Chain A
Amino acid sequence: MDLAPPAVNKCGHMHRSPLIPLALGVLAIVLLAIVGARITASDLTAELSLKAQAAIAKAGGTGVTARFSTASGMPSRHPLLIGGNALGSATRAKVARAVAAIPGVGGVRWENSSALASRAAPAERPLHCEDDVAALLRSRTIRFEEGSSRIDASSQGLLDQVSAALRPCLGAIIAITGHTDASGPEAGNLVLSRDRANAVLTALVARGIPADGLRAAGVGSARPVEGLDPNDPANRRIEFSVAESQPFKPTPVDTPGP
């Protein structure tokens, strides 16, 4: 059998194309990836699935399951969360974060939304219900009886609306801050603003808002409305701010005043 002589360069050495070993290397790697994934992937996803179910149960996501496979049924580290449509958005976000926090889990996606949960949860993110409450209180204010923390009967309807507007933010931390104007001794103002914020908190709890997500604080006349004279009675107000943060982390309103 007559074989063609191998290509020889001018110095007498064999001249081989470097592309051949390169291609063989790439081919070996593709095979290694497919075989390696076939051996390890199902065990890995089974383990992640178990951990995810535990995390979902702990985060309160009843009826939610995590599917660790792609649409074509291949094992994946990026779970699709299914079910839990009746859960509130705060709970859903909490569930997604709990699953995303499991080591080895990639991006988490809900079946019926395109929202991605990132591993790093934002520390404080304003929710739209804060704007809803601000809009309610822009034209009307929660009124109190003169010099007392008793909520005026005329404001009960407004409180109903406020509690309804806060409902989408259940699970988040809702800070209630009482403010007064600068008339009178500041120590008294501080106590009054705190008592009034607490009265609003109690009224909201009576309307079904869980107390563990509510924080009440009074700042007296320390923070007047921007552009207003500190003595202006319009500074007497209750402000709501909604922060999606961990319940264990003290929010600034938890810090006792000087």
Chain B
Amino acid sequence: MPIWLELLVLLLLTFAGGLALGWALWGRSPARGIEE
């Protein structure tokens, strides 16, 4: 497995983790619900 592929997998996992965290913290903001 070349290093660039290892780095890619690692970064994609980090990205997915960041998205999940962001969604959990701010994605379900009640502000949006009130506005609608």
Instruction: Give the interface of A toward B (CB within 8 A).
Output: 11, 13, 22, 25-26, 29-30, 32-34, 36-38, 40-41, 44-45, 70, 72, 74-78, 106
Contact = CB atoms under 8 A, between A and B. Distances in A.
Contacts, number: 49
Contacts of A30: 8
B11 interface: yes
Across the A-B interface, the 9 shortest Cβ-Cβ residue pairs: A37-B4, A74-B2, A33-B8, A41-B3, A33-B7, A29-B11, A37-B3, A37-B7, A75-B3
Given A11-B36, A25-B15, A29-B12, A36 B1 contact: no
Given A11-B35, A11-B36, A41 B11 contact: no
B12 A77 contact: no
A39 to B, nearest CB: 11
A145 B4 CA distance: 68
B2 A70 contact: yes
A78 B8 CA distance: 16
Contact of A36 (B7, B15, B36): B7
Interface in B1-32: 1-8, 11-12, 15, 19
A29 B1 contact: no
Nearest to A107: B1
B8 A29 contact: yes
A33 B2 CA distance: 11
Nearest to B4: A37
Q: B interface, how many residues as a size bin?
A: 10 to 19
Contact of B4 (A11, A22, A74, A106): A74
9 contacts: A11-B35, A30-B8, A32-B11, A33-B7, A33-B8, A38-B4, A41-B3, A74-B4, A76-B1
Nearest to B35: A11
A78 B12 contact: no
B2 A37 contact: yes
A41 B8 CA distance: 13
B32 to A, nearest CB: 9
Contacts of A45: 3
Nearest to A75: B3
